[in-house]
Amino acid sequence: MDRLETYRKKRNFLITSEPPGSGKKSGKTLAFCVQFHAARREHYDLRLEWDGAALSWAVPKGPSYCPADKRLAVRVEDHPLEYMDFEGTIPKGEYGGGTVMLWDEGTWTPRFDPEKGLDAGSLKFRLNGHRLKGDWALVRMKQEAEDDDAWLLIKERDAFAKKTAGIRTFTHGIRSGMTMSEIANAKTEDAYFGITLTSPDKIVFPDPAVTKKQLAEYYAAAAYRMLPYIRGRVMSVVCCPAGIEGERFFRRHLDGNFRGIGHVAAEDKEDFFFVRDKTGILSLAQYNAVELHVSGCMAKSGKPDVMIFDLDPDEGLPLSAVRRGVRALKEVLDDLGLVSFLKTSGGKGYHVAVPLHASADVDEFRDFSKQVALLMENAYPDLFTANISKRARGGKIFLDWQRNSPAATSVAPYSVRARPGAPVSMPIRWEELGRIAPAGISLRTAKSRLKRPDPWADFFTVQKCQRLKTKGNKWPSG
């Protein structure tokens, strides 16, 4: 029997925008989602991907992080996997008529054989979502009638358990960032390069106010400068669906299809993603991504070709000391025969980038950057530390070389930061170091800089010929 037959019989797909289902097969990882559904009665729907469809339970009170709470969960018809991307309004009068919010999503792992668990009435699993995490159990209750399929959803006692339900603070969709009323009255703005922007007037930065539309407009304007540094590289993003003062989350993987976004397989992990073109940048803006972070390696080759040194000063360290550290690092890189480039971090420090021919392997690349950091620590013990510990950082600059590890990313050139004032990580000329503070360029002033000559105009020319000398270096004494 077709597992989706009951689902399809209950719906008129000429009227509802719910997906009919294409018989999509499960991937390497199993997805789960929770949808908040304001139908005749408000409830949450838990969906677990299994064998090409979504096992589904309606949970009237919603999941609870408190192990003492045993939440009623009524099993309903299996749904198509495409339904796990659905957010919108089901027309009044249709089955389940009302507003649906995609409340949480992620992956789930069965702790025991799911088929046996479903038959036995005890399904135990682990959730790795943005809001729901840890071990959970579904236990079937005694059936009062033949068509009765009532279960209990229970949080297991683990590191994620709480004394309260712990879910009521989450009032925005996990992808769209919209409230239920915003979804019901969804306002869109033909889109930038085929990307339809929802909730364009939503405030992302409160003071001075910057809307989602204004953020997207900046990325549209900056894309031509930004793309050469991010296209084809593994990325991660900081998403702020309710603005920078609300809940935020860090994403290294994107579920579903996004225009202009490609994917690369990662062994024993979810696929990583990368931007293909300008449309991809705007897809991320629609997804409520504020910060764009990028790897020093190309996604498909895995070869590193951009080395990043992140100068992260201790609280209270004067800007003059930070600038002295930047100049000292440049002198050492010059002595090593390496041309480097400077950008603001949009935070407390600066970033120094070294473009390189993709000839060294990832271990050599990382180890070289570590040696530079240790050199700076030894040469300037009053100014630098290569130790990530906050305690070791007292009154010093942490020279973060770990941005050059294979799995690491750092904020991309021209990326906005999810911080008050909407600062931008902006490439600048070395001569501007004394005039521009680490957070001295904001989204409001960044556009004017895009009209000026590119301060990193020689970056890729240098990259073609600059190779990393991993052996026999005569390290400067400082």
pLDDT in tens, 92-126: 999 999 999 999 999 999 999 999 999 999 999 99
Q: Which residues pair with 235 in a beta bridge?
A: 294
- The pLDDT, as a whole number, for residue 97 is 95
Mean pLDDT of the chain: 91
Query: Is residue 472 in a domain?
Result: no
- The pLDDT, as a whole number, for residue 177 is 74
Query: Is residue 170 in a domain?
Result: no
Same domain, 280 and 248: yes
- Range of weakest confidence among 159-168, 377-386, 422-431, 467-476: 467-476
CB atoms within 10 A of CB 111: 15
- The pLDDT, as a whole number, for residue 389 is 77
Same domain, 242 and 377: no
Residue 334 pLDDT more than 50? yes
Query: Is residue 243 in a domain?
Result: yes
Confidence class of residue 343 from pLDDT cuts 50, 70 and 90? Answer: very high
Query: Is residue 167 in a domain?
Result: no
Same domain, 203 and 264: yes
Could you tell me the residue range of the domain that residue 111 belongs to? 5-155
Same domain, 346 and 414: yes
Please give the residue that has the higher pLDDT: either 1 or 433: 433
Determine the length of the chain.
Answer: 478
Same domain, 286 and 329: no
Query: Is residue 166 in a domain?
Result: no
Using alpha carbons only, give the angle 155, 159, 160 rounded to the nearest 5 degrees.
50
Q: Are 413 and 229 in contact (CB under 8 A)?
A: yes
The counts of H helices and E strands in the chain are 9, 23
Q: Which residues pair with 75 in a beta bridge?
A: 57
Structure tokens at 207: 């003071």
- Range of weakest confidence among 60-64, 159-163, 322-326, 359-363: 359-363
CA distance 333 to 294: 22
Query: Is residue 266 in a domain?
Result: yes
Query: Is residue 169 in a domain?
Result: no
Q: Which of 137, 155, 173 is the last residue of a domain?
A: 155
pLDDT in tens, 455-473: 999 999 999 999 987 666 6
Same domain, 203 and 128: no
Q: Mean of the pLDDT values across residues 237-250? A: 92
Q: Mean of the pLDDT values across residues 134-161? A: 90
Q: Are 414 and 346 in contact (CB under 8 A)?
A: no
Structure tokens at 429: 């000329």
CA distances (Å), origin 293, targets 252, 358, 403, 437? 9, 20, 11, 21
- 201: domain CATH number is 3.90.920.10
Same domain, 287 and 218: yes
- The pLDDT, as a whole number, for residue 473 is 61
- The pLDDT, as a whole number, for residue 171 is 87
Query: Is residue 344 in a domain?
Result: yes
CB atoms within 10 A of CB 374: 17
Same domain, 198 and 250: yes
CA distance 343 to 28: 39
Residue 37 pLDDT more than 60? yes
Q: Mean of the pLDDT values across residues 397-406? A: 92
Q: Mean of the pLDDT values across residues 222-239? A: 94
Q: Which of 263, 298, 333 is the last residue of a domain?
A: 298
- The pLDDT, as a whole number, for residue 103 is 94
- pTM, rounded to two decimals: 0.74
Same domain, 15 and 37: yes
Same domain, 290 and 414: no
Residue 142 pLDDT more than 90? no
Same domain, 40 and 145: yes
Same domain, 251 and 326: no
CA distance 181 to 92: 15
Give the total number of structural domains in the chain.
Answer: 3
Structure tokens at 118: 């479903």
- The pLDDT, as a whole number, for residue 332 is 95
- The pLDDT, as a whole number, for residue 478 is 45
Q: Which helix (H) or strand (E) is 443 found in, with range?
A: helix 443-450
Q: Mean of the pLDDT values across residues 407-414? A: 95
CA distance 43 to 61: 6
Q: Which of 298, 316, 338 is the last residue of a domain?
A: 298
pLDDT in tens, 269-309: 668 899 999 999 999 999 999 999 999 998 888 889 999 99
Q: Mean of the pLDDT values across residues 225-244? A: 94
